[in-house]
């Protein structure tokens, strides 16, 4: 009997054998995740596009909006510079940066999920034992992300064309979003080669995304309002490139060559690294650990600290970095008044320069608070991760009650935001204090303002505890409300959403610090919620079956 | 009889799946009790109820005199558990995990820890994923055997261990019994249960189908007879209680119900016997008997 021999491709193509099957596997696994991401991003674009048309109906209103936004450093930091006052240009300004950021986040998650995560869990080993080429896993991961980005390109372009915007600008917008996604897909492909740990790989790629955002924000805040050219910091950031394509305001196609070049470079690097390593291995060799546990690993609290301290440290350093950068540019807020001495005097008399800088600082502090919600949600979800991966079960078979087990991780979920925001506030206060020449005056004010965000963050911590306790199967859905709160905080004010909608977010109830009086009432409500939600969640956790 | 584990009429469903359907289990203090069943029979679900990780829908469960759901934490001071699939934290070394579990059980014996590490040939400095499946299993086994507890609950603990390590494992279980500890050993490896267990409970589809000492169970079953005969043995198949006769070149192998042994031996003697071997049923055969006929009421058809 002769065995049937399948024809094998020769040359380089044999490394790609099985890519198609792996892509189908990835699409099958992501059948919910991928459409949700694409629809959320496209939905945001569509929503912003429509609201702008409703809110700023006349050319005068749009010109005023553009001028106002460009005049204020904090708003430029948040949303980027405005390059025109057409509907299209305003849409690109308002949502283009976020669409690019979200596309990047989506793409990096998809790539790590289908490359390093598959290797770490050992699933890739079984797949690669079949007729799967050496380069097929990375190729299929990149292709899946690329497919999602192409969908975004098509949807964004179609939405803008459907609204009657010019073809060139619509296409430039779509390409900008899709290419930003691809940039971070390629960055993630490199990160996935470096470390054996998928969580670390996501962290590395996420840090690149975060730095890109901070550079873009700082550059836009520091740019001189009058000049047309972007600050060098903006040019150093892939998200800054996205802004500088300027859809509907010049459509600078050549800028798109920058992300294309970076994608090509990163993908080539990723393949070169992948060819030089073993399956499952990274380039950072894991060192052996101690034969005996240190005294600090004494119980569930020590364990939770051990498991989460790396993440906590990374967030703390990241916030200190962002705080220092933002604090350093805050002094430039006075520039917005321009050179007109009369105006400057007028504003100064009204409480002017300090008030404007405070507005800037409070906006940035609020931004740190919103981002901090991501940390706390992730920290609480560690509980679910431990449970569903079978690591909680043997722990709970010891003399560990469920509440104490949960307590170990919750201490970090609750204390972490305090530490992270303190680091951000401290760095911002220090760097603003130094530039303004008043460290002892500014530092405590800004630190306090940063810490004042904590109760709002805790409400989301509590919500996450409630979901993990009561609806463990839906634990990942916690990201929904967290994303909504961040979106409301970020987009809500300019979209002039009704107060009832803005009130959904706990951050909407915080006083604008520094610069306003603190009232106790909102804090009492937030703290009451921050206590009630986790209490209900822990009661549910105690009464339910463990997965 | 002092009872370590007592379960009666235990029910548990997950959605529409009835994982446990009136299960009974009684484990005496100081015995090694085999908990046998095929995959999906409900062994792990029972163990998770015993550990208070899930709550029974119905039925009475007592563990070391307490309620495993209500008194979970207090009871766990006296219980060590080894899961069938051990997952470790990827950034913790095996030695750290062993110490952590020990501390969470109120301390472990450092001398015994070192002795067990040597016997299981386990390197405690490796981290999480660097361990093979068998070595992850050893981490949990060392942690369990080194702690001072009254009851060990082992859920298919030797999956992934090589035969030499299985031997070490058996030695450890025997030592535990000598020290008066109780062991609940869930398994589908019959040789292991046969070698270690005083009594056995066999479960299927969430229900206990047989329980007793190995001797009790064997009496329900048959003896395999192998004989070299001087004449043709074709008519042996006609005797009552005889099954599965195969004959080739004077060698006969047959199975006979134990209460029909006498006529078979008489007939063999009549034909003339050159050599004769009789073996008690292995647990394998008991097992097959329970699972082969599960859904039919047809008479037993033995495998060989």
**What's the gap in Å between the CA of B286 and the closest CA on chain A?**
32
Q: Compute the average pLDDT of residues B67-86.
A: 91
Whole-angstrom CA distances from B273 to A331, A416, B124, B251 are 108, 83, 58, 10
Closest CA relative to residue A39, chosen from A164, A155, A206, A142 = A155
* Bond preceding residue A514 cis, omega within 30 of 0: yes
**What's the gap in Å between the CA of A469 and the closest CA on chain B?**
14
Q: Compute the average pLDDT of residues A310-332.
A: 89
How far apart are alpha carbons B174 and B191 in whole angstroms?
15
Nearest residue on chain B to A400, alpha-carbon basis: B73
Nearest residue on chain B to A545, alpha-carbon basis: B54
Contact B83 A546 (CB under 8 A): no
The total of other beta-carbon atoms located within 10 Å of residue A501's CB is 12
- B267-B269-B274 Cα angle (round to 5): 125
pLDDT 10s digits, A382-398: 999 999 988 999 999 98
Contact A399 B153 (CB under 8 A): no
The total of other beta-carbon atoms located within 10 Å of residue B102's CB is 23
Choose the closest CB to B100 out of A291, A293, A310: A293
Residue B58, burial from CB neighbour count under 10 angstroms (0-12, 13-18, 19+): exposed
pLDDT at A337 over 50: no
Best of A120, A203, A293, A310 to substitute, by most chain B Cβ atoms within 10 angstroms, is: A293
Contact A292 B99 (CB under 8 A): yes
Tell me the CA end-to-end span of chain B in Å, nearest whole number.
39
Contact B99 A196 (CB under 8 A): no
Choose the closest CB to B83 out of A290, A294, A393: A393
Choose the closest CB to A290 out of B51, B96, B129: B96
Nearest residue on chain A to B74, alpha-carbon basis: A399
Residues of B in contact with A297 (CB under 8 A): 92, 96, 99-100, 103
**What's the gap in Å between the CA of B170 and the closest CA on chain A?**
22
**Which token pair is B52?**
């208070």
Q: Which residue carries 């700082």 as its tokens? A: A218
Q: Which residue carries 């520091």 as its tokens? A: A222
Contact B124 A292 (CB under 8 A): yes
Yes or no: say if A79 and A90 are a contact pair by the CB < 8 Å rule. no
Which of A252-266, B160-174, B243-257 has the weakest average pLDDT?
B243-257
pLDDT at B294 over 70: no
Closest CA relative to residue B20, chosen from B53, B62, B51, B57 = B57
- Strand B58-63 with B3-14, pairing: antiparallel
DSSP sequence for chain B: --EEEEEEEEEEEETTEEEEEEEEEEEETT-EEEEE--TTSSHHHHHHHHTTSS--SEEEEEETTB-TTTTHHHHHTTEEEE-SS----TTSBHHHHHHHHHHHTT-B-HHHHHHHHHHTT--TT-BGGGS-HHHHHHHHHHHHHTB--SEEEEESTTTT--HHHHHHHHHHHHHHHHTT-EEEEEES-HHHHHHH-SEEEEEETTEEEEEEEHHHHHTTSEEEEEEEESS--GGGGGSTTEEEEEEETTEEEEEEEGGGHHHHHHHHHHH-EEEEEEEPPPHHHHHHHHHHTTT--SPP----
Contact B77 A399 (CB under 8 A): yes
Beta bridge partners of B199: B33, B213
**Which token pair is A292?**
């005996």
How far apart are alpha carbons A542 and A523 in whole angstroms?
29
**Over pLDDT 70: what percentage of chain A?**
92
**What's the gap in Å between the CA of B32 and the closest CA on chain A?**
20
pLDDT 10s digits, B120-178: 999 999 988 789 999 999 999 999 999 889 999 999 998 889 999 999 999 999 999 99
Predicted pLDDT of residue A3: 54
Nearest residue on chain B to A198, alpha-carbon basis: B90
Q: Compute the average pLDDT of residues A192-211.
A: 93
CB-side neighbour CA atoms (13 Å) of B292: 13
Contact B54 A391 (CB under 8 A): no
Show the domains of chain B with their CATH numbers. 3-217 (3.40.50.300), 222-280 (3.30.70)
**What's the gap in Å between the CA of A196 and the closest CA on chain B?**
10
Predicted pLDDT of residue A340: 45
Residue A273, helix vs strand vs coil: helix
Residues of A in contact with B77 (CB under 8 A): 399
Residues of A in contact with B106 (CB under 8 A): 399
Phi-psi region of B213 (alpha: psi -120 to 50; beta: other; left: phi over 0): beta
Yes or no: say if B140 and B86 are a contact pair by the CB < 8 Å rule. yes
Q: Compute the average pLDDT of residues A63-85.
A: 81
pLDDT at B286 over 80: no
Contact B89 A307 (CB under 8 A): yes
Q: How confident is the model at residue A478 (pLDDT cuts 50, 70, 90)?
A: very high
How far apart are alpha carbons A151 and B259 in whole angstroms?
75
Q: Where are the domains of chain A?
A: 16-281, 298-547
Q: How confident is the model at residue B283 (pLDDT cuts 50, 70, 90)?
A: low
Predicted pLDDT of residue B40: 84
Predicted pLDDT of residue A228: 62
Whole-angstrom CA distances from A530 to A128, A458, A463, B189 are 47, 5, 8, 51
**What's the gap in Å between the CA of A395 and the closest CA on chain B?**
7
Predicted pLDDT of residue A475: 92
Residue B132, burial from CB neighbour count under 10 angstroms (0-12, 13-18, 19+): exposed
Beta bridge partners of A321: none
Best of A291, A306, A307, A409 to substitute, by most chain B Cβ atoms within 10 angstroms, is: A291
Contact B55 A545 (CB under 8 A): yes
Best of B49, B53, B131, B136 to substitute, by most chain A Cβ atoms within 10 angstroms, is: B53
**Which token pair is B232?**
């043709």
* Residues in B lying within 8 Å of A, measured between beta carbons: 48, 51-55, 72-74, 76-77, 79-83, 85-101, 103-106, 124-127, 129-130, 140, 153
How far apart are alpha carbons A197 and A204 in whole angstroms?
11
How far apart are alpha carbons B247 and A301 in whole angstroms?
68
Contact B124 A396 (CB under 8 A): no
pLDDT at A342 over 50: no
How far apart are alpha carbons A384 and A467 in whole angstroms?
10
Choose the closest CB to B53 out of A307, A389, A393: A393
Choose the closest CB to A120 out of B82, B105, B129: B129
pLDDT at B76 over 80: yes
Contact B93 A396 (CB under 8 A): no
Phi-psi region of B106 (alpha: psi -120 to 50; beta: other; left: phi over 0): left
Q: Is the ipTM of this complex over 0.85?
A: no
Best of B77, B96, B102, B135 to substitute, by most chain A Cβ atoms within 10 angstroms, is: B96
Q: Compute the average pLDDT of residues B219-244.
A: 83
pTM over 0.90: no
Choose the closest CB to B101 out of A196, A398, A546: A398
Nearest residue on chain A to B56, alpha-carbon basis: A545
pLDDT at B238 over 60: yes
* Residues in A lying within 8 Å of B, measured between beta carbons: 120, 196-197, 280, 286, 288-294, 297-300, 302-303, 306-307, 310, 389-391, 393-401, 545-546
Q: Compute the average pLDDT of residues B37-42.
A: 86
The contacts found for A477-486 with CB under 8 angstroms, 24 or more apart, are: A478/A377, A478/A380, A478/A381, A479/A377, A482/A373, A482/A374, A482/A377, A483/A40, A485/A370, A485/A373, A485/A460, A486/A370, A486/A371, A486/A373, A486/A374
Nearest residue on chain B to A401, alpha-carbon basis: B73
What is the SS3 assignment for B83-107? CCCCCCCCCCEHHHHHHHHHHHCCC
Nearest residue on chain A to B69, alpha-carbon basis: A543
- Strand B32-36 with B182-187, pairing: parallel
The total of other beta-carbon atoms located within 10 Å of residue A342's CB is 7
How far apart are alpha carbons A120 and A194 in whole angstroms?
13
How far apart are alpha carbons A152 and A143 in whole angstroms?
14
Predicted pLDDT of residue B161: 92
Contact B73 A299 (CB under 8 A): no
Predicted pLDDT of residue B111: 94
Contact B72 A401 (CB under 8 A): yes
Nearest residue on chain B to A388, alpha-carbon basis: B87
Yes or no: say if A148 and A41 are a contact pair by the CB < 8 Å rule. no
- Strand B79-82 with B151-155, pairing: parallel
Residues of B in contact with A286 (CB under 8 A): 127, 130
Residues of A in contact with B130 (CB under 8 A): 286
Predicted pLDDT of residue B303: 34
Contact B129 A291 (CB under 8 A): no
Best of B68, B129, B140 to substitute, by most chain A Cβ atoms within 10 angstroms, is: B129
């Amino acid at each position: 009997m002769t065995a049937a021999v399948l024809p094998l491709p020769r040359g380089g193509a044999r490394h790609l054998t099985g890519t198609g099957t792996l892509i189908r596997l990835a699409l099958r696994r992501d059948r919910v995740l991928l459409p949700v991401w694409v629809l959320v991003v496209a939905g945001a674009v569509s929503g912003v596009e429509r609201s702008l048309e409703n809110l700023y109906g006349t050319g005068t209103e749009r010109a005023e909006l553009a001028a106002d936004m460009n005049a204020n450093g904090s708003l430029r930091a948040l949303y980027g510079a405005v390059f025109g006052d057409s509907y299209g240009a305003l849409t690109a300004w308002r949502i283009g940066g976020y669409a690019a950021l979200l596309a990047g986040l989506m793409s990096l998650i998809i790539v790590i999920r289908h490359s390093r995560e598959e290797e770490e869990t050992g699933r890739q080993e079984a797949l690669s034992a079949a007729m799967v080429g050496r380069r097929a896993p990375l190729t299929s991961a990149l292709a899946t992300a690329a497919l999602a980005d192409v969908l975004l390109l098509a949807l964004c372009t179609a939405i803008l064309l459907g609204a009657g915007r010019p073809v060139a600008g619509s296409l430039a917008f779509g390409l900008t979003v899709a290419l930003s996604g691809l940039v971070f897909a390629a960055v993630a492909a490199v990160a996935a080669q470096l470390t054996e740990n998928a969580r670390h790989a996501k962290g590395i790629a996420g840090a690149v995304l975060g730095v890109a955002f901070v550079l873009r924000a700082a550059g836009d805040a520091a740019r001189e309002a009058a000049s047309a050219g972007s600050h060098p910091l903006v040019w150093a950031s892939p998200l800054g490139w996205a802004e500088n394509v300027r859809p509907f305001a010049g459509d600078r196609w050549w800028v798109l060559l920058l992300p294309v070049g970076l994608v090509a470079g990163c993908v080539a690097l990723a393949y070169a690294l992948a060819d030089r390593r073993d399956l499952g291995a990274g380039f950072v060799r894991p060192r052996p650990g101690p034969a005996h546990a240190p005294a600090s690993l004494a119980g569930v609290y020590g364990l939770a600290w051990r498991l989460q301290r790396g993440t906590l440290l990374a967030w703390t350093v990241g916030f200190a970095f962002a705080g220092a950068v933002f604090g350093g540019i805050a002094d430039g807020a006075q520039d917005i008044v321009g050179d007109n001495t009369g105006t400057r005097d007028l504003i100064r008399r009204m409480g002017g320069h300090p008030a404007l800088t405070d507005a800037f600082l409070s906006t940035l502090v609020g931004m740190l608070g919103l981002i901090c919600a991501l940390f706390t949600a992730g920290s609480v979800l560690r509980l679910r991760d431990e449970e569903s991966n079978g690591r909680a079960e043997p722990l709970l078979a010891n003399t560990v009650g469920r509440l104490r087990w949960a307590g170990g991780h919750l201490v970090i979920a609750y204390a972490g935001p305090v530490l992270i925001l303190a680091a951000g506030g401290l760095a911002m206060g220090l760097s603003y204090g130094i530039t303004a020449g008043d460290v002892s005056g500014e530092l405590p004010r800004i630190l306090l303002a940063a810490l004042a965000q904590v109760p709002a963050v805790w409400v989301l911590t509590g919500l996450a505890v409630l979901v993990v306790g009561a609806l463990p199967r839906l634990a990942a859905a916690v990201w929904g409300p967290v994303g909504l709160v961040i979106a409301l905080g970020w987009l809500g004010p300019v979209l002039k959403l009704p107060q009832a909608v803005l009130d959904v977010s706990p951050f909407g109830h915080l006083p604008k610090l520094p610069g306003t009086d603190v009232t106790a009432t909102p804090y009492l409500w937030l703290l009451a919620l921050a206590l009630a939600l986790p209490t209900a969640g822990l009661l549910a956790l105690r009464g339910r079956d463990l997965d | 009889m002092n009872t370590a584990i007592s379960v009666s009429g235990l029910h548990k469903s997950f959605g529409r799946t009835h994982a446990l359907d009136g299960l009974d289990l009684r484990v005496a203090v100081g015995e090694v009790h085999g908990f046998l069943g095929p995959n999906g029979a409900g062994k792990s679900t029972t163990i998770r109820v015993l550990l208070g990780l899930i709550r029974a829908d119905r039925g009475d469960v007592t563990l070391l005199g307490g309620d495993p759901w209500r008194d979970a934490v207090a009871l766990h001071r006296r219980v060590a558990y080894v899961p069938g699939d051990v997952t470790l934290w990827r950034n913790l070394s095996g030695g750290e995990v062993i110490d952590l579990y020990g501390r969470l059980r109120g301390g472990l014996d450092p001398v015994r820890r070192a002795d067990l590490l040597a016997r299981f040939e386990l390197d405690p400095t490796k981290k999480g994923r660097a361990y093979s499946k068998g070595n992850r299993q050893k981490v949990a086994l060392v942690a369990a055997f080194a702690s001072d507890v009254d009851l060990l609950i082992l859920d298919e603990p030797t999956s992934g261990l090589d035969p030499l390590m299985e031997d070490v494992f058996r030695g450890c279980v025997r030592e535990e019994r000598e020290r008066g500890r109780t062991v609940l050993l869930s398994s589908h490896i019959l040789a292991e249960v046969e070698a270690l267990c005083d009594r056995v409970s066999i479960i299927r589809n969430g229900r206990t189908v047989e329980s007793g000492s190995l001797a009790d169970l064997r009496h329900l079953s048959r003896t395999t007879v192998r004989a070299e005969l001087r004449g043709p043995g074709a008519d042996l198949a006609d005797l009552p209680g005889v099954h599965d006769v195969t004959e080739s070149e004077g060698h006969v192998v047959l199975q006979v119900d134990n209460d029909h042994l006498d006529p078979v031996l008489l007939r063999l003697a009549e034909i003339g016997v050159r050599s004769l071997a009789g073996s008690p049923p292995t647990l394998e055969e008991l097992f097959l008997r329970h699972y082969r006929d599960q859904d039919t009421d047809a008479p037993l058809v033995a495998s060989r």
